[in-house]
Chains A and B, each alone.
Chain A
């Protein structure tokens, strides 16, 4: 029986295993050094905040693996011998494979800051980081202040986590507005305000220079690059992005760039070795996507796709329309299609932006300024229906159509106040159009492309 070995029990590896099991009878082993069972990394924050216990982050009950004949092996892969198809573990044992899938995910970036390995300095990626945070920042007496370095999605989650235990937070962000490499100006500014409203000491355009230690090797303070200011703190969170977790592969013969280099079939340069999820790097970016896509959904999609190939239905990784979502403290964010920030925005892309006068609600719609084709939408504080936007993108609807059918797309809970009319009024005023809002129609919602 063919033995499929997967390194990494994250979303990509586990999705692959589940689908291979559905399609075949192959022997499957998942290897991980982090935890016994698959858990949802995206939920780590809720454990610290007391919304859930760690066991609630595990999407499958423990009996699931045995029942589906998916073997779980805890251990750290130190080395791969692709000639003999053999894994060597740090613990000394080995494992033979017929097909190997590398799904080792990411690790937090460290940019060589002085003091970056002190006690109390941590990323927020692995379960061990959560445990370390629990040790160094159990409450605001042990941790009088925490400094977070790097203003991305994980950084703001870490800020929210610490805030929930009333630990004062200073948030150092290199950019001059939060996440403005991705978010257009209006949205980024709204998030700046929202962060400050939560009494988080947000420092924009500010870099870390060094982390100082006390006599026990614990964090004592940080030094700010721009001003030389010294900030006393007990915990430093490094959340300046993530990089593929591939160092152990450096001399395995598998081609490595920043991540494991793969083609559109998720194959590496070595036969029978594949890579998926955060650690995979496409030779060439697919459409507007980045060569390394470190998000949950893409890891899952790669797993779904590669299972076909492994089970003799060779299938190209061909993701559909881009979508994503996040939550900035209390503000939910969703995006469908492409909406670019100022930086890197194609010259044909034009935006329409609407923001509620009082609430933290706004949307940005991107469209082609010549053809009027709808390109994408960002929404904050309004939930939208994925199916509808996916369909509109496939149908290449023009922006006028989208604006006048927004009610079809609303996904907020029942009885919520709706804003389509306000949005449309502003749109009409801006572009001198005379569109009227169409009532929500189940028929349109359920119609196929």
Chain B
């Protein structure tokens, strides 16, 4: 068994190494015909750019994106510089050099990778999946009897912020940086998933397709780990299945198939304000121009946020979304589960959390207000501030850096819910409802708590669960995503997530059940 695990780990690491090397490998050679198509598709009017590419790039062999990309970026800068100088605004290219390089790279890739997509898929994703499963599956036997399996969490480098944890951190952060800011380097990754993309939407893959596919793959493999680890806990099994289903079907398959059917790309479960660009001009226009289905999506998006979300939170707590449906939550609960103990439980962290998350909510609301105002009045500015600038700041700082690079990249260091806890505006909104108007609570079982601290340690949201439990108080916190792990790890059966009458839900206590009833009455009534 041990041997299988080791072999699995080696196979996984080989797959990962090849995947990691891909951005710098491969050969590119752009031919005239392809270039002309690009010029047409991208609507390029800059003769400077076209000529420079023709003389420097077309017909030349490039080894690796790192040789091609700087040339393109140089050409693009030169072109724009001269157009700006000559005030030829219609010729200026607005596509970013990174996107341009990605488009050209995709068309011009011609080497081994481009010609052996299936094989390369196997060497990366294939080996990764096989290796990871070989590493994970023996745990069915190795972990022994069913029960809580946290032995050694704080002894191992991977889960105790040791060097493995830091390596994972560097990998994840770099991956997100490529994805958001240097997508041309993802060209080879897109190639190897082309066949899958074509079979779904009919189009070749872009880097967001790579991300979506990888997301589903990682979640599925790590869900297997969850199933094994928590096999005694049916709540965890159901919950994991649910997030996996919503990720694969709603976030991944349905939008791709909608594209094939000439419909807008839309994830039906992604609610505003997490889906922050839902009300952006281009999206609204796109939806309105799409006729019936577009209008349906528009109405659904609004109903989802204004009615479905709060009503469901009233009945079941925020968990129905955050740890049963949401994709961010889904990754956090699968890939992120080994890191949940790193969330900071201090009062200070709680303060930071409240400032940050509500600031982001405010930000998204103001931005959306500006967006809608601009949309209906058909102006580009509100009170002298350019709506588009605000939008791009939000997209960059919150949408990309906070939610992606920090949110996921920092899993091994700050725990698996950094984004959900400190940043997600939807979580803030759900949290208000959960805190003030909901049937959900985590009931504390009378006086049974022994203050051991397992619950607080493993709360991914950094809630000091013990602080409530040891006072006999129910846990009612806007940030609780109802993952149920505190309840699972409690060795004394103290915590139960449940939906019940609102009355008596919040029960501040000083004297716990089990003591003199008169004393309880005297002190707790105050």
Contacts and interface: CB of A to CB of B under 8 A. Distances in A.
Interface in A367-389: 383-387
Contacts of A330: 145-148, 232
B220 interface: no
Interface in B450-489: 450-454, 456-457, 466-467, 470, 484, 487-489
Contacts of B498: 414
Nearest to B145: A330
A305 interface: yes
B362 to A, nearest CB: 29
Given A332-B491, A446-B503, A164 B152 contact: yes
A59 B147 contact: no
Contact of A386 (B148, B491, B513): B513
Given A51-B454, A413-B497, A386 B446 contact: yes
B154 interface: yes
Contacts of B493: 325, 332, 334, 383-384, 411
B154 A320 contact: no
Interface stretch (B112-120, B399-407, B515-523): B515-523
A304 B470 CA distance: 13
Contact of B448 (A22, A305, A334, A414): A334
Contact of A411 (B445, B484, B488, B519): B445
Contacts of B484: 413-414
B519 A386 contact: no
A384 B510 CA distance: 22
B155 to A, nearest CB: 4
B384 interface: no
A326 B494 CA distance: 11
B506 interface: no
A301 B514 contact: yes
Interface stretch (A39-47, A119-127, A274-282, A350-358): A39-47
A186 to B, nearest CB: 20
Interface stretch (B206-214, B233-241, B374-382, B427-435): B233-241
A19 interface: yes
B513 A387 contact: yes
Contacts of B291: none
For B145, B146, B501, B504, the residue with the greatest tally of chain A CB atoms inside 10 Å of its CB is: B145
A294 B45 CA distance: 85
Contact of B515 (A43, A301, A387): A301
B447 interface: yes
Given A297-B447, A320-B514, A315 B492 contact: no
Size bracket of the A interface: 35 or more
Contacts of A200: none
A415 B240 CA distance: 13
A40 B451 contact: yes
A61 B450 contact: no
Contact of B453 (A56, A319, A416): A56
Contact of B145 (A197, A296, A412): A197
A384 B500 CA distance: 17
B501 A446 contact: yes
B1 interface: no
Nearest to A387: B446
A225 B504 CA distance: 57
B445 A164 contact: no
A356 B316 CA distance: 31
A320 B491 contact: no
Interface in A408-449: 411-417, 442, 445-446
Contacts of B523: 304
B249 interface: no
A445 to B, nearest CB: 8
B233 A413 contact: yes
B457 A304 contact: no
Nearest to B347: A61
Contacts of A446: 500-501, 503-504
B150 interface: yes
Interface string A1-32: 00000000001000000010010000000000
Interface in A44-79: 46, 49-53, 56-59, 61
A198 interface: yes
A308 interface: yes
Most chain A CB within 10 A, of B232, B235, B238, B519, is at B519
Given A40-B453, A323-B446, A415 B514 contact: no
Interface string A158-180: 00000010000000000000000
Interface string B206-246: 00000000000000000000000000111100100000000
B497 A319 contact: no
B358 interface: no
Contacts of A329: 145, 147
B515 A51 contact: no
B90 interface: no
B234 A416 contact: yes
Given A51-B150, A51-B153, A300-B512, A415 B447 contact: no
Contacts of A304: 510-512, 515, 519, 523
B151 A51 contact: yes
A226 B410 CA distance: 58
Nearest to B445: A386
Contact of A385 (B233, B445, B447, B488): B445
Nearest to A383: B493
B161 to A, nearest CB: 11
B346 interface: yes
Contact of B470 (A52, A59, A305, A317): A59
A341 B346 CA distance: 44
B163 to A, nearest CB: 17
Nearest to A18: B510
B510 A19 contact: yes
Interface in A315-355: 315-321, 323, 325-327, 329-330, 332, 334
Contacts of A417: 234
A56 B457 contact: yes
A415 B501 contact: no
A415 B487 CA distance: 13
B445 A40 contact: no
B437 interface: no
Question: Which residue, of B233, B234, B452, has the highest number of chain A Cβ atoms within 10 A?
Answer: B452
A232 B147 CA distance: 31
Given A51-B150, A51-B154, A415 B470 contact: no
B151 A164 contact: yes
A390 interface: yes
B70 to A, nearest CB: 47
B5 interface: no
Contacts of A416: 234-235
B496 interface: yes
A413 B488 contact: yes
Given A57-B453, A413-B234, 11 more contacts: A51-B153, A61-B347, A301-B514, A304-B511, A305-B519, A318-B519, A327-B492, A329-B147, A330-B232, A386-B514, A411-B443
Interface of A: 11, 19, 22, 40, 42-43, 46, 49-53, 56-59, 61, 164, 197-198, 296-297, 300-301, 304-305, 308, 315-321, 323, 325-327, 329-330, 332, 334, 383-387, 390, 394, 411-417, 442, 445-446
7 contacts: A296-B451, A300-B512, A321-B514, A332-B491, A383-B445, A386-B445, A413-B233
Closest 6 CB pairs of A and B: A386-B446, A330-B147, A383-B493, A43-B452, A318-B516, A50-B152
